[in-house]
Amino acid sequence: MPDIRALFWDVGGVLLTNAWDHQERAKALEHFSLDPEQFQARHEMVVSSFECGKLTLNEYLDRTLFYRDRPFTHEAFRDFMFSLSQPFPQNLAFAQSLADSGKYSMSTINNESRDLNDYRIEKFGLRRIFRLFVSSCFVGLRKPEREIYRLALEITQIPPEECCFIDDRALNLECARQLGMHTIEMKGSESLRAELAKVGVRA
């Protein structure tokens, strides 16, 4: 088996909590006493554009919430959204140690809106770990679309059999595996270390 030279990481659910997944949305809706069905219907109509960088956060909020008067501001809702992002310290430290080893090209492949993505990169020091962010909001493609994985491979110019992609959702691993990448489904810190060790990846 060829040596692994490149590691691609999902962010939400692997290194940090999710940015704006169903659990985060539910917390925000409860906090602001909003109707889940009304919000979800509007969210589903614009989420693809939001995560592909075609809508700013304020535009997304206008479409999903502020189409009518609310007893709170854009800023209050935005601040609450951002507050939901929390780190997984063990996983971040492990990823940092792999980056510090200098043995691997370290990149992300993640679905995230631009404002949240920028905030999380800055807040949690992800530039210290990763040289490349193949984020949906930057490239206009989303997992599990095949083309986002192909783009990541083309940018790095590393053969797929020398790459490993880590994600917490099995569906997001399928196309990466079909393209020839090694894949690991995130199930916990110890499991991740063990699975990476199986393909020869160690700090």
Q: Where are the domains of the chain?
A: 6-17+87-198, 22-83
Q: Are strands 105-110 and 6-9 parallel, antiparallel or unpaired?
A: parallel
22-83 to CATH, choices 3.40.50.720, 3.40.47.10, 1.10.30.50, 1.10.150.240: 1.10.150.240
Partners of 6 in beta bridges: 105, 163
Give the pLDDT score at 81: 98
CB contact at 8 A, 11 and 126: yes
Per-residue pLDDT of the chain (203 residues; tens, 9 = 90+): 789 999 999 999 999 999 999 999 999 999 999 999 999 999 999 999 999 999 999 999 999 999 999 999 999 999 999 999 999 999 999 999 999 999 999 999 999 999 999 999 999 999 999 999 999 999 999 999 999 999 999 999 999 999 999 999 999 999 999 999 999 999 999 999 999 999 999 99
3-state secondary structure (DSSP) of residue 165: strand
**Cβ-contact 155, 126 below 8 angstroms:** no
pLDDT at 2: 87
Q: What is the rounded distance in angstroms from the CA atom of residue 107 to the CA atom of residue 42? A: 32
Q: Identity (one letter) of the amino acid at 11?
A: V
Whole-number CA gyration radius for the chain: 18
Q: What is the DSSP letter of 185?
A: E
> 183 - beta bridge partners?
165
What's the confidence (pLDDT) of residue 1? 75
**CATH code for the structural domain at 6-17+87-198:** 3.40.50.1000
DSSP H/E element including 69: none
- How far is the C-alpha of 94 from the C-alpha of 88, rounded, in Å? 10
CB-count exposure of residue 60 (10 Å: 0-12, 13-18, 19+): buried
Characterize 99-114 residue by residue with b for buried, 16 or more Cβ atoms within 10 angstroms of its Cβ, and e for exposed.
Answer: beeebbbbbbbbbbbb
